Amino acid sequence: MAHPVSPLALPMPALPPIPGVRVATGMAEIRYRAREDVMAMAFPAGTTVAGVFTKNRCPGAPVEWSRAALKSGKARGLVVTSGNSNVFTGKAGRETCAKTAEATAKILGCKPKEVFLASTGVIGERLPTEKLVGALPKVFDAATEAGFTAAAAAIMTTDTFPKASVHTAVIGETTVTIAGIAKGSGMIAPDMATMLSFLATDAKIPAAALQAMLKKGCDKSFNCVTVDSDTSTSDTVLLFATGAAKHPRVPAEGGPMLKDFARALNAVLMDLALMVARDGEGAQKLIRIDVTGAVTARSAHKIGMCIANSPLVKTAIAGEDANWGRIVMAVGKSGEPADRDSLSIAVGGVWMARDGGVVEGYDETPVVAHMKGREVEITVDIGLGKGKATVWTCDLTHGYIDINGSYRS
């Protein structure tokens, strides 16, 4: 069932080819009809890989497969399916992963453990292995370096627009490119990753250094975004480095020469994470929450996420109701250190409450005007320390119920 494109959608950027990466999409009719539901990537020998995955205790078989494959730090292929998440499918799910990887390895001339897998969609239904494996030869035959744009659409489920980002960086005096795509709209409360995101670069970076940068980058981006407080069973972020660019050798630990690369990687990750929030199911407003004055940065992050996940806060914003009392409630229920008489709250840059009470002469008019916009900013100063954090979410509208109430229909 198609849904209206989010009013917060951003246009698809032009994605340049990443030297060494061949991308293709195809149809296996896993769940959808007359739309592409398989995305594949092929990488040259020597490609390194980094990944972060869901901490959900009921992960899908593809997550378990890719987590195990990551130990080698090497990659030659990626296969992603949409419509069926291959989660809670027991032995059948594991067999599907093994057969998919084996078929892909045969096509690419590599080991099955150099093939990474990801799936998104309905939980608890067997993924039709024969359909998927049967579609792979045709999909890989069509792989080209220009296939990234179509890939962003092929991995969507309830997404209303494809999500992609590209940035460049300098290693030594050589310019390298980082491009990424993502999907995610609901069941978004990342814990190490988002639903699905795949990035590639032509830089030559050891797996250990790549892993450290990806984990740090995800903590500052995907792990600071929430739509509905639900952590997916399929969360996967993978970053592939083909090594096609000619730049000075990067040491195993990375180091200062990767400073600009880390900057560009973080920019791609943040772009993608915010697009996920912009495409939150039924979303009409993007919400930024800045928390300052907490006892630690970790505490500030937890408070911010508690505000961002509050149905009462999110529905108030959907209704453009400047009800700052709901923000106070969310701070208090976070379980983190907070003092009512030290708390200050602002919306759209207007301080509404300070030191446990309403600001004298407070005028709600500019706040209401701000809340009528597409982007809403909330600032909360806990008043206890120097910890700070920024998180993003979206409002909660009836559209969320409409989409999720008919998801399997």
Predicted local confidence at residue 193, as pLDDT: 52
The Cα–Cα gap between 31 and 39 comes to 14
Determine the 3-state secondary structure of 135 from DSSP: helix
The structure's pTM equals 0.93
Plot region of 243 (φ>0 → left; ψ -120 to 50 → alpha; else → beta): left
CB-neighbour burial class of residue 257 (10 A; exposed 0-12, middle 13-18, buried 19+): middle
pLDDT for the residue 84:
86
Strands (E), 87-136: 115-122
Band the pLDDT of 2: cuts 50, 70, 90: low
What is the pLDDT averaged over residues 314-343?
Answer: 95
Gyration radius of the chain's alpha carbons: 22
Amino acid at 270: M
Three-class secondary structure of residue 193 per DSSP: coil
Show binding-site residues for substrate: 157, 183, 194, 281, 404, 409
Q: Residues 83-131: pLDDT tens digits?
A: 888 988 899 999 999 999 999 999 999 999 999 999 988 888 899 999 9
pLDDT tens sequence across 360-408: 999 999 999 999 999 999 999 999 999 999 999 999 888 777 766 665 5
Mean pLDDT of the chain: 92
What residue has token string 């799936």? 119
Instruction: Name the DSSP class of 246.
Output: -
Gap between the Cα atoms of 314 and 327, Å rounded: 10
Q: Catalytic pick from 47, 96, 104, 194? A: 194
- On whether the CB atoms of residues 83 and 37 are closer than 8 A, the answer is yes
- E strand intervals along 295-397: 344-347, 350-354, 357-358, 375-381, 387-394
What mean pLDDT comes out for the span 341-345? 96
Q: Give me the pLDDT at residue 363, please.
A: 94
| pLDDT score recorded for residue 121 | 81
What are the structure tokens assigned to 5, written together? 């494109």
The pLDDT of residue 353 is above 50: yes
Q: What band does 281 get if pLDDT is binned at 50, 70 and 90?
A: confident
Sheet holding 236-241: strands in order across? 48-53, 236-241, 196-201, 174-183, 163-171
Give the residue with greater pLDDT, 44 vs 153. Answer: 44
Q: Which residue is listed with tokens 């981006």?
A: 221
What's the confidence (pLDDT) of residue 407? 52
Say what the pLDDT of residue 409 is.
44
Residue 228's pLDDT band, with cuts at 50, 70 and 90, is confident
The count of other CB atoms within 10 Å of the CB of residue 263 is 13
Calpha distance 125→24 (Å, rounded): 25
Q: How far apart are the first and last CA of the chain?
A: 8
pLDDT-above-90 percentage for the chain: 77
For residues 306-333, b (16+ Cβ closer than 10 Å) or e, as one string? bbbbbeebbbbbbebebbbebbbbbbee
Which residues define the annotated binding site? 157, 183, 194, 281, 404, 409
Tell me how far apart the alpha carbons of residues 396 and 288 are, in angstroms, rounded to a whole number: 14
DSSP state of 168: E
| Orientation angle between helical segments 61-69 and 90-108, nearest 10 degrees | 50
- The confidence score (pLDDT) of residue 187 equals 61
Q: Is 194 a catalytic residue?
A: yes
pLDDT at 34 over 90: no
pLDDT digits (tens, 9 = 90+) for 117-126: 999 888 888 9
More confident residue, 229 or 163: 163
| Domains along the chain with CATH numbers | 22-278 (3.60.70.12), 286-405 (3.10.20.340)
DSSP assignments along 54-76, one per residue: ---SS--HHHHHHHHHGGG-B-S
Distance in angstroms (rounded) separating the CA atoms of residues 200 and 41: 10
Reference 183, options 364, 39, 74; nearest CA is 39
